[in-house]
Amino acid sequence: MDVAEIHKNTKLLVDGIPCCVDDVDFTKPGKGRAIYRVKLRNLLDGTTTEKTFHSGEKADEAQTTYQQEQYLYKDGDHYIFMNTETFEQLFVSESQIGDKKDFLKEGILVDMLMFGERPIDITLPNFIEFEVLESEVAIKAQTISPQLKAATIETGAVIGVPTFINVGDIIKVDTRTGTYVERINKK
């Protein structure tokens, strides 16, 4: 692919390693060819690097695919997923999952990014419902802005919720931002 086609979230193959483009900075000097400074995140270990391309150069696009997987359980520092079509199980390390582990609920379906036969990243559903296991006691104060309190959801993650949320409530959480969306029911 031509470097002019590179944009954020493009998957490139750099020195045989799949990378995701996090940022592209385009510079056109007065003389010479345009310069593309690309910030890359290694999809295998999460490290970031920068690479410079000149206009007219070619970059290798990483051949990645998505497949639907169901999260089963955690075993040590690995998360076990099952392919919904072949029922084969994949073991994904905690370092590859990153902060997404806070919202991994047993039984949910995720999109697994694959590089060949190797899992390299997951995409969670945008919204997941969780039960509130613990919640701080709300202190009523006269303020204009809405008050939030800390609540622990069933995965162990702590998020900010409105003061009317109680233990046992089911809430919807936006997994992209880790924020409370709405209460589903009141037990």
CATH 2.40.50.140 residue spans of the chain: 64-123, 127-185
Cα four-point dihedral sign 39, 42, 43, 45:
negative
Q: Which CATH class is domain 64-123?
A: mainly beta
How does the average pLDDT of the chain come out, rounded?
A: 85
Q: pLDDT, tens digit, for every residue of 162-177? A: 888 888 899 999 988 8
CATH 2.30.30.30 residue spans of the chain: 3-61
Contact 75, 62 (CB under 8 A): no
Residue 7: pLDDT over 90: no
Q: pLDDT, tens digit, for every residue of 16-32? A: 888 888 888 888 888 88
Instruction: Give the architecture (CATH level 2) of 127-185.
Output: Beta Barrel (2.40)
Q: pLDDT, tens digit, for every residue of 77-86? A: 889 999 988 8
What is the C-alpha to C-alpha distance for residues 67 and 69, in angstroms, rounded to an integer?
A: 6
The pLDDT value recorded for residue 4 is: 81
Contacts of 19 (CB under 8 A, 6+ apart): 11, 12, 13, 40, 41, 42, 43, 49, 62
Six token digits for residue 19? 């990378």
Residue 115: pLDDT over 80: yes
Six token digits for residue 43? 């999809």
Q: pLDDT, tens digit, for every residue of 120-131? A: 888 899 999 999
pTM of the model: 0.70
Tell me the CATH number for domain 3-61.
2.30.30.30
Residue 41: pLDDT over 80: yes
